[in-house]
C-alpha cells in the first residue's frame, strides 16, 4: 500500500512511501537476528561509544531534521529542538549506564564446599540481551519516542538489534534519523542488522513484524487499540514474547480546597499550560481534574475556562488526529461545556461521571474535564474505580498533603507516578523515573518506557554454575574488573571476591 | 466435580475432594483483594516475621505432614524431609530479603533547582506489591513448589495476598500446609484473605481463577499444555496480567571427549543419578545427552545403560504420570533402546534426532536419550535449534572448557542456567540462582521462579515526584532510615541524601 507524508499545517503532500512487503519485513528481522550475536558480544565501552555516536550523528543531521519534523508534525521548531536534545540525551544516558555497567544486576553466591548436608556450588548470574526488539514509533514525539527514541535506545543499550517500524505520520523524519543510526552502526563496524527500519501504514506490517519468530520483544507507544492488537498478536505466537505498550491515560489531577484558596489562579494557569502543551498531544496530559464542590471550586473552574478560551490551538500532528479530536469533542455527551473555543473544558458531577464510563476515555488533544465531587468519600471512590493511569497529581497545602495518606494510597494503586503540587507533563529522563502504570496505561505495569530502568525490559538473566573463571563474563569474575556494583551473597558491593584459601 | 486423593504406591483412595465452585473461587479472589491494602501496608519487619512464622507453623505440622505427603506422592520420607527444609528455608530466605529491604530497588534523583533550561524535580521510585497472586501447586514438589512453595513465598514477600489452587494429586498435603499458613496469618493479626486456598481437578477451576479481575499475576509450575492454557487465558483478559509459568525442558547435557577419557564412569554414575532422582520427575532432569561419535562415547553409552538397568524405579507421583510415562516410552519411535528395564535409556544419531522433532519433547520420568553427533559443527547446530531450556550442562576437561566458548555462547542463548562439570538437578535456592529459560522452559525468560530474585515477578514501581517527605515511604526518605542500598543519581549507595543548603 502506498501512503504519503503530509505537511501537517497545510495538508500538502510531501512524499510517497509504501508498506514494507512481507519479504522486506522478513529480511529486516533476519538481518537483526544475524547481527544479534556479534552485537551481544560487544564490550560495554564499545556499546556505549556506539550510542554516543548515534547521538552525534543525529545532531549532525542539523536543521534538515528539525525542518522535516516541523513540516511533517506541525510541532514548533523550538519544541523539536528541545525534543532532539531529549533524544540525544537519552542515548547518552544509556551510554553512561552501559559504561558504568552495574545495570546487569550481577549476582554471585560463592561456593560453600563445606556446607551440610550438601555443598553449595558456585552460582553467578547476570543480565544478557534478550534478542531482536521490534520498536514502533509514536506520532506525538517524532524524535524522543520514535526511531531513535527511548525504546530503541534502551534495547540497543541492553545489546539487542532493533527493527523499527516508522510511524507513517512522519516518514521523512524517520528516514533521516534512521540514516543517522545506520551511519553510527557503520562507524562502529557493526553488522547492518543492528539497526533496521521499515515503513508501513497498514496494521499488517506491524503484525507481521510482531509475529516474526526472530523478534523477541516489542516496544510501542500509541493508542490502546493498536497496542492491544500487538499484544494479542505477540501472546498468540507459538513462542509468546513480551510487549511493552504504553497506551492510554487520562492522568487525574486533584485539587484540594486549601490549595485553591492559596493559589487558585496559579494552578489554573499551570493546568491549562499542561493540558495544551504540544496541543494536548501528550500521554501525560491531565484530562481529568477533580475537586470538592465549593464556591472556590466554581471560581477555579471559571479561571480554567477563561485561560483555556484564550488559547489559540496549534497545528495538530496530522489531519486524522485533528478529525478524531473534533469528532470526540462534538459528540461528547453528558457534560456541560465551559468553553466552545480555544482549549476545550467541560464539567460534570462525580455522580454523573461515574454513570457514564465513556467520560473516562482519553481524548487526545487540548481538552480536559472538571469533575466536582460532593465529598472526599465520593472522590476516593471515583479515583479507586479508574482504569490504570500513567500519572496522578495532587495539589494541596502542606497541611492538606500531610493528611492525604488516603489519597496517596488509592492513587498509588491506580497510577505509576504520583506528582505533588506540579503537573504530569514533562517526563524527566532519569534513573528514578517510572513511565508506565496499570493496564491500559501500559501493558505491563512493572516496566517503564522512560528513564534508565527501561533497559530491564530487554534483558534476561543467564546463570553460570561452577563455571571456570576464564569462561565467565568480566562482570562475574572474582576480581570485578569492571568495578560494578554486584550482589554477593545477597549484599550489594563493588568489592572483588576474595581468593579462597 | 468430585475427585480423590490416592495412595501413590497402592492406588488406595485416601479422601474425597471437590472442585471449588465459581462462587468459592470468586470469594477467594475477593478476600485476597480485600486484604491487599492492609498487607501491602505492613512494615517490612512484620512481613518478615510473618514469613518466619509460616515456616515455623509448617515445621510444627510434624510427621503428619511428611506421612501424608509420602502417601499421596510416593516420594520417600527422607526426600520429603529435605523438601520441607527447602520449603521453610525459602520462606526464611525471603524473610531475610524483606528485612534487609534493598530488594525494593529504591531510586532517588534529587531535585536540581538550578538546572537549565528547566529545573529537575525530585523523583523517587520503589517497588510496591502488584496485587493478589494466583499460585498453582506442582505435582512433583508437594512442598517446595506447592502451597507454601517459592511462588507463594515470593508473592507474600513482595506484599501480595496469595490464592493457591492446590494440585489435585496431593490435596491432603495441601490442606495441612494451608492450615499452617492460615495459622501464621492469624498469629500475625492479618486479614484472612492474605492466604486462601481452593481445590480443583478441572481446568475450569484454574481458568476461572486466572480470569478473575482481582487476580494481578500468576505463578505456575507444570506442563506446557496447562501452562499455555493459563497464559492464553491471562493474555485474553480485558486487563491482561503476567503469567510466570515454568513448563517443560529436556536439559541438554554435553560430554566432551576428554572428559570421557578422564572420568567416563563417574559421569555415567552422576548422569544416571540425576536422571533418576525423584524417579526422573524433576523439571531439570537431563533428558538429552550429547557427545561426539567415538569408541569412548560408545563405552560411555554402555556404562550409562548398565547403571540405568540396575535402577529399581521408585513409585511415581500418581497413576496418571506413571501411565503417561509408560505410554511415552512404549510409543517412542526412531530410537534404539539401550535398556528395557530399570531407568530407560535410548540412543539416536544427531541426524536422526534432527529429523524427528518429537524426540525433543520432554518425557517426565526415568528416561534419557543419548545423541551421537558426527562433528562439533553438527553438535552446535543441533543445540542451537533446540527449544528454550531451563538448563544446559557441559562436561569437559579444563582444556576443553577453555576452548568451549562456542558451546557456551550457543547454550547461553538456549538456556537459563549453564552447569559446568555437574548436574542440573538440585536447584540451589539463593540470590544468584536463575530457574527459567526461553519459551517453553518458562513463559517469560526474564524471571526466575527459584531464589530471591523470584520476588521481582510480583512487584511494580511506583514513582513519587516532588513528594513531601512525610508522605514518602521510609525506603525513599532522605535519611534512609532502613539503611538499604539505593540508586542515588544512578549510583548504588547506602548513604542518606545530604540536606540541601
Instruction: Name which of A240, A415, A456 is nearest B443 (Cβ-Cβ).
Output: A240
At A287 the pLDDT is: 98
Residue B13 has pLDDT above 90, yes or no: yes
Q: Does pLDDT of B501 surpass 70?
A: no
Asked if A239's CB is within 8 angstroms of B431's CB, the reply is no
Q: Terminal CA-to-CA distance of chain B, rounded, Å?
A: 69
Residue B62 CB contacts under 8 Å (≥ 6 apart), including other chains: none
**Looking at the predicted structure, is the pLDDT value of residue A1 above 90?**
no
Instruction: Give B489-496's long-range contacts (Cβ < 8 A, gap of 24+).
Output: B489/A431, B489/B108, B489/B109, B489/B110, B490/A96, B490/A97, B490/A100, B490/A430, B490/A431, B490/A452, B490/B109, B491/A100, B492/A102, B492/A485, B492/A492
Distance between A337 CA and the closest CA of chain B, angstroms: 32
CA distance B142 to B351: 39
Integer Cα distance of B237 and A375 in angstroms: 33
Contact A336, A347 (CB under 8 A): yes
- With CB atoms and an 8 Å threshold, state whether A235 touches B232: yes
For residues B51 and B153, is the Cβ–Cβ distance under 8 A? yes
Name the residue facing B108 among A118, A120, A432 (closest C-beta).
A432
Q: Using CB atoms, which residue from B402, B465, B492 is nearest to A417?
A: B465
A415, A418, A445 member nearest B467 (Cβ):
A418
Active site residue: B83, B246, B378, B475, which one? B246
Alpha carbon distance B143, B180 (integer Å)? 12
Domain boundaries B2-247+447-457, CATH class? alpha beta
H-helix or E-strand spanning residue A303: helix A295-309
Please answer yes or no on whether B471 and A405 come within 8 Å at the CB atom. yes
The per-residue pLDDT of chain A, averaged, comes to 97
A268-282: b (≥16 Cβ within 10 Å) or e: bebbbebbbbbbbbb
Picking from B409, B446, B489, the nearest residue to A37 by CB comes out as B409
Query: How far does B152 lie from chain A, in Å, by closest CA?
Result: 19
Closest chain B residue to the Cα of A96, Cα to Cα: B490
In this model, does residue A501 exceed pLDDT 60?
Answer: no
| Angstroms from A83 CA to nearest CA on chain B | 13
Average pLDDT over residues A304-308: 98
Interface probe, candidates B158, B251, B429, B461, chain A, greatest A C-beta count within 10 A: B461
- C-alpha cell of B451? 531464589
Cβ pair A452:B236 closer than 8 A? no
C-beta neighbour count of B317 within 10 angstroms: 25
**Cβ contact B434–A388 (<8 Å):** no
Residue with cell 521453610: B88
CB contact under 8 A, B448 and A461: yes
Q: Is B178 exposed, middle or buried (0-12, 13-18, 19+ CB in 10 A)?
A: buried
Pairwise CB contact (< 8 Å): A432 & B123? yes
Alpha helices per DSSP H over A103-214? 150-157, 171-187, 203-211
| Cell numbers linked to A462 | 543467564
Q: Which of A100, A239, A434 sits opposite B125 (nearest CB)?
A: A434
For the record, the C-alpha cell of A313 comes out as 490551538
> How far off is chain B from A462, nearest CA to CA, in Å?
5
* b/e per residue A49-84 (b: at least 16 CB within 10 A): bbbbbbbbbbeebeeebbebbbbbbbbeeebbbbbb
Mean pLDDT over residues B305-319, rounded?
A: 94
Kindly tell me the number of DSSP H helices and DSSP E strands found in chain B.
Answer: 15, 19
Chain A residue nearest residue B435, CA to CA: A463
What's the rounded mean pLDDT across residues B292-303? 98
Cis status, amide bond into A60, omega within 30 of 0: no
Give percent above pLDDT 90 in chain B: 98
Pairwise CA distance, residues B488 & A175, whole Å: 37
Phi, psi angles (nearest 5°) of residue A250 = -110, 0
Q: Hey, are the CB atoms on B109 and A440 less than 8 Å from each other? A: no
| DSSP per residue, B180-195 | HHHHHHHHTT--GGGE
Query: Do the Cβ atoms of A40 and A158 come closer than 8 Å?
Result: no
Which residue on chain A is closest to B451 by alpha carbon? A490
Task: Give the best residue of B81, B119, B463 to mutate against chain A (max A CB count within 10 A).
Answer: B463
pLDDT at B117: 86
Contact between chains at B239 and A446 (C-beta distance less than 8 A): no
Cis peptide before A117 (omega within 30 of 0): yes
User: In this predicted model, what pLDDT tens digit does every residue of B71-109 receive, in sequence order?
Assistant: 999 999 999 999 999 999 999 999 999 999 999 999 999
A151 contacts A166 by C-beta, under 8 angstroms: no
- Does A275 score more than 60 pLDDT? yes
- Pick the closest to residue A8 from A58, A74, A95, A81 (CA basis): A74
- What ipTM was reported for this prediction? 0.96
Cβ–Cβ below 8 Å for A412 and B121: no
Q: Which residues of A touch B421 (CB under 8 A)?
A: 466
A388: closest CA among A345, A336, A444, A432?
A444
Q: What is the pLDDT of residues B382-404, one digit of tens each?
A: 999 999 999 999 999 999 999 99
Contact A401 B471 (CB under 8 A): yes
Q: How many CA atoms lie within 13 A of B278 on its CB side?
A: 22
Pick from B97, B123, B428: CB nearest A121: B428
Compute how many other C-beta atoms are within 10 angstroms of the C-beta atom of residue B309: 16
Q: How confident is the model at residue A248 (pLDDT cuts 50, 70, 90)?
A: confident
CA A466 to chain B, closest CA, distance in angstroms equals 5
Closest-CA distance of chain B to residue A219, Å: 16
Nearest CA in chain B to A396: B468
Residues 6+ apart with CB under 8 A from A14: A4, A5, A6, A7, A71, A72, A172
A246 an active-site residue? yes
Report d(CA A498, CA A479) in Å as an integer: 8
Scored b (16 or more CB within 10 A) or e, B262-283 reads ebbeebbebbbebbbbbbbbbb
CA angle A220, A225, A231 (to 5 degrees): 55
The full DSSP string for A42-92 is S-HHHHHHHHHHHHHHHHHTTHHHHHHHHHHH---HHHHHHHHHHHHHHHH
- Crossing angle of helices B44-60 and B77-100, rounded to 10°: 170
pLDDT, tens only, A131-165: 999 999 999 999 999 999 999 999 999 999 999 99
CB contact under 8 A, A462 and B434: yes
Q: Is the pLDDT of residue B428 over 60?
A: yes
CATH number of A252-420: 3.40.309.10
Distance from C-alpha of B355 to C-alpha of A400, rounded to nearest angstrom: 71
Give the active site residue among A72, A246, A378, A475.
A246
pLDDT single digits (tens) A256-270: 999 999 999 999 999
Instruction: Give the three cell numbers for residue A240.
Output: 509468546
Tell me the chain B residues in contact with residue A109 when contact means C-beta distances shorter than 8 Å. 428, 430-433
Shortest distance between the Cα of A212 and any Cα of chain B, in A, equals 15
The fraction of chain A above a pLDDT of 70, given in percent, is: 100
Most B CBs within 10 Å, among A96, A100, A448, A461, to test the B interface:
A461
pLDDT digits (tens, 9 = 90+) for A439-493: 999 999 999 999 999 999 999 999 999 999 999 999 999 999 999 999 999 999 9
Helix, strand or coil for residue A291?
strand
Q: Quick one: residue A329, left, alpha or beta (phi over 0 = left, psi -120 to 50 = alpha)? A: alpha
Domain residue spans in chain A?
15-247+447-457, 252-420
Question: Is B446's CB within 8 Å of A463's CB?
Answer: no
pLDDT number for residue A151: 98
The answer to whether the Cβ–Cβ distance between A109 and B433 falls below 8 Å is yes
Give the minimum alpha-carbon distance from A37 to chain B in angstroms, rounded to a whole number.
8
Q: Which of A52, A275, A283, A362 is catalytic?
A: A283
Nearest CA to B343 out of B279, B386, B288 is that of: B279
How many residues would you count in chain A?
Answer: 501
Asked if B45 is an active-site residue, the reply is no
Q: What is the least distance, in Å, from the CA of A280 to any CA of chain B? A: 20
**Inter-chain residue contact B422 with A467, CB threshold 8 Å:** no
- Among the listed residues B275, B283, B378, B475, the single catalytic one is B283
Q: Measured between alpha carbons, how far is B433 from B284 in angstroms, rounded to an integer?
A: 13
Give Cα B132 to chain centroid, integer Å. Answer: 19
Q: Class for domain A15-247+447-457, per CATH? A: alpha beta
Question: Considering only alpha carbons, which residue of chain B is nearest residue A93?
Answer: B490
Contact A109 B487 (CB under 8 A): no
b/e sequence A31-40, b meaning 16+ C-beta within 10 Å: bbbbbbeebb
How many other C-beta atoms lie within 10 A of the C-beta of residue A353?
22
pLDDT at residue number B1:
87
Across the interface, whether the CB atoms of B235 and A232 are under 8 A apart is answered yes
Q: Which of B103, B225, B465 to mutate to test the interface with A (most CBs of A within 10 A)?
A: B465
DSSP letter string over B363-407? Answer: --SSEEEEEEESSHHHHHHHHHTSPPEEEEEEE--HHHHHT-HHH
Contacts of B124 in chain A (CB under 8 A): 432
The count of CB pairs under 8 A between chains A and B is 218
Confidence of residue A67 (pLDDT cuts 50, 70, 90): very high
Element (H, E) at A466: none
C-alpha grid cell for residue B482? Answer: 532502613
Amino acid at each position: 500500500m502506498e501512503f504519503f507524508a503530509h505537511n501537517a499545517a497545510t495538508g500538502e503532500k510531501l512524499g510517497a512511501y509504501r508498506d514494507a512487503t512481507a519479504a522486506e519485513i522478513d529480511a529486516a528481522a533476519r538481518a537483526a537476528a544475524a547481527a544479534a550475536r556479534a552485537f551481544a558480544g560487544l564490550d560495554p565501552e564499545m556499546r556505549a561509544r556506539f550510542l554516543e555516536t548515534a547521538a552525534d550523528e543525529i545532531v549532525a543531521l542539523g536543521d534538515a531534521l528539525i525542518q522535516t519534523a516541523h513540516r511533517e508534525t506541525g510541532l514548533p521548531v523550538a519544541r523539536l529542538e528541545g525534543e532532539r536534545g531529549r533524544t540525544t540525551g537519552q542515548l547518552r544516558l544509556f551510554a553512561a549506564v552501559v559504561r558504568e555497567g552495574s545495570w546487569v544486576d550481577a549476582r554471585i553466591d560463592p561456593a560453600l564446599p563445606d556446607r551440610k548436608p550438601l555443598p553449595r556450588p558456585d552460582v553467578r548470574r547476570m543480565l544478557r540481551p534478550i534478542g531482536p526488539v521490534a520498536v514502533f514509533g509514536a506520532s506525538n514525539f517524532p524524535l524522543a519516542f520514535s526511531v531513535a527514541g527511548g525504546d530503541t535506545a534502551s534495547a540497543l543499550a541492553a545489546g539487542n538489534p532493533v527493527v523499527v517500524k516508522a510511524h507513517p505520520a512522519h516518514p521523512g523524519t524517520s528516514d533521516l534519523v534512521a540514516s543517522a543510526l545506520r551511519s553510527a552502526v557503520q562507524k562502529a563496524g557493526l553488522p547492518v542488522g543492528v539497526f533496521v527500519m521499515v515503513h508501513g501504514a497498514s496494521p499488517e506490517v506491524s503484525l507481521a513484524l510482531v509475529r516474526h519468530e526472530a523478534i523477541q520483544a516489542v516496544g510501542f507507544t500509541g493508542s490502546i487499540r493498536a497496542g492491544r492488537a500487538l499484544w494479542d498478536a505477540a501472546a498468540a505466537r507459538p513462542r509468546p514474547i513480551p510487549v511493552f505498550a504504553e497506551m492510554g491515560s487520562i492522568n487525574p489531577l486533584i485539587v484540594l480546597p486549601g490549595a485553591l484558596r492559596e493559589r487558585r489562579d496559579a494552578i489554573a494557569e499551570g493546568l491549562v499550560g499542561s493540558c495544551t502543551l504540544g496541543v494536548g498531544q501528550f500521554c501525560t496530559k491531565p484530562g481529568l481534574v477533580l475537586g470538592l464542590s465549593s464556591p472556590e471550586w466554581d471560581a477555579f473552574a471559571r479561571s480554567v475556562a477563561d485561560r483555556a478560551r484564550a488559547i489559540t490551538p496549534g497545528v495538530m500532528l496530522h489531519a486524522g488526529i485533528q478529525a478524531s479530536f473534533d469528532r470526540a469533542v462534538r459528540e461528547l455527551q453528558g457534560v456541560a461545556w465551559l468553553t466552545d473555543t480555544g482549549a476545550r473544558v467541560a464539567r460534570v458531577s462525580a455522580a454523573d461521571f461515574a454513570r457514564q464510563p465513556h467520560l473516562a476515555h482519553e481524548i487526545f488533544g487540548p481538552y480536559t474535564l472538571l469533575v466536582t465531587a460532593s465529598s472526599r468519600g465520593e472522590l476516593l471512590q471515583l479515583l479507586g474505580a479508574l482504569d490504570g493511569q500513567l500519572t496522578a497529581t495532587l495539589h494541596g497545602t502542606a497541611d492538606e498533603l500531610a493528611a492525604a495518606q488516603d489519597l496517596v494510597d488509592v492513587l498509588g494503586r491506580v497510577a505509576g507516578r504520583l506528582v505533588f503540587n506540579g503537573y504530569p507533563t514533562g517526563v524527566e529522563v532519569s534513573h528514578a523515573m517510572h513511565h508506565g502504570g496499570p493496564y491500559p496505561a501500559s501493558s505491563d505495569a512493572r516496566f517503564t518506557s522512560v528513564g534508565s530502568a527501561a533497559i530491564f525490559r530487554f534483558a534476561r538473566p543467564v546463570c553460570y554454575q561452577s563455571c571456570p573463571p576464564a569462561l565467565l563474563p568480566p562482570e562475574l569474575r572474582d576480581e570485578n574488573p569492571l568495578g560494578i556494583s554486584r550482589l554477593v551473597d545477597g549484599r550489594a558491593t563493588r568489592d572483588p571476591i576474595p581468593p579462597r584459601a
